[in-house]
Amino acid sequence: MGSLGFFVSGTDTNVGKTWVASAIVRSLLAAGKQVAVYKPVASGHATPGCAGSDARTLWEAAGCPGRLDDVCPQSFEAALPPVASARVEGRAVDEALLRSGLAALPRHDVVIVEGAGGLFSPVGQETLVVDLVRDFNLPLVIVDAARLGAVGRSLATIRAARAEGLAVAAVVLSHTHPVLPGDVGPLSAISIAKEAASSIAARGEVAVAILGHGQERLPEATEWLAGLSG
């Protein structure tokens, strides 16, 4: 496969992957790229039928290219991991479609793929997220929530990814909650995120960006992103 783009994975579920992936999409669109988005499988609140679903959020960020059904070709309603969620419906995850769905996307310069859960979360009976990253041959963007513990979580995922032979393009720390007006000083959410970002960058030898709550694009000076949009 080997299309140009990024695979957006997380240190865990609910760390802001969809928002970060959407911000990457908007940044690339602003740089004049044709961007496709892909979510191999979704379950629970992430299913395309739900308002504000992952697939719809990504698709809208990309300017609604192609059909929403192609963004996420298989989804299951129960708020369980995909395999269990499929079982509730008497179905099974289509392992081949997890991969082949990428080829059905409309013409694009760049593709942004959002995984489900973390790097080692199962997305099929046989398949973990990490297997898809390898098969798609895309560099990883690792998302973590900008809160205490980010350094440990991020480094664990960076090291595990590299041990699997994957390229890590960047880590993005995402403010998943608004910063409260009185939240200032060294213990503030902003300070914690900045400290964590420099520690991850130094210890993980990786580019780190911080995405503010509600911020629609990544910071302008994001070199790893400019490399893709050049």
Using CB under 5 A as the criterion, which residues of the chain lie in contact with Mg ion when the complex forms? 17-18, 54
Please name which of 94, 87, 168 lies closest in space to residue 130, comparing C-alpha atoms.
168
**Cβ–Cβ < 8 Å for 114, 18:** yes
Q: How far is the CB of 146 from Mg ion (least distance, A)?
A: 16
Q: State the nearest-atom distance from the C-beta of 54 to Mg ion, in Å.
A: 4
Q: Measured from the CB atom, is 54 or 70 closer to Mg ion?
A: 54
How deeply is 199 buried, as exposed, middle or buried, from its count of CB atoms within 10 A (0-12, 13-18, 19+)?
A: middle
Find the helix or strand (DSSP H, E) in which 173 lies: strand 168-174
Closest residue to Mg ion using C-beta atoms = 18
Sheet containing 207-211: give its strands across.
35-38, 110-118, 5-10, 140-145, 168-174, 207-211
**Would the CA dihedral through 218, 220, 223, 228 be positive or negative?**
positive
Q: How far is the CB of 126 from Mg ion (least distance, A)?
A: 22
Catalytic residues: 39
CB of 29 to Mg ion, least distance (A): 19
Q: Which is nearer to Mg ion, 29 or 50 (CB)?
A: 50
C-beta closer to Mg ion: residue 9 or 182: 9
What is the length of the chain?
Answer: 230
- Of 176 and 188, which has the nearer Cβ to Mg ion? 176
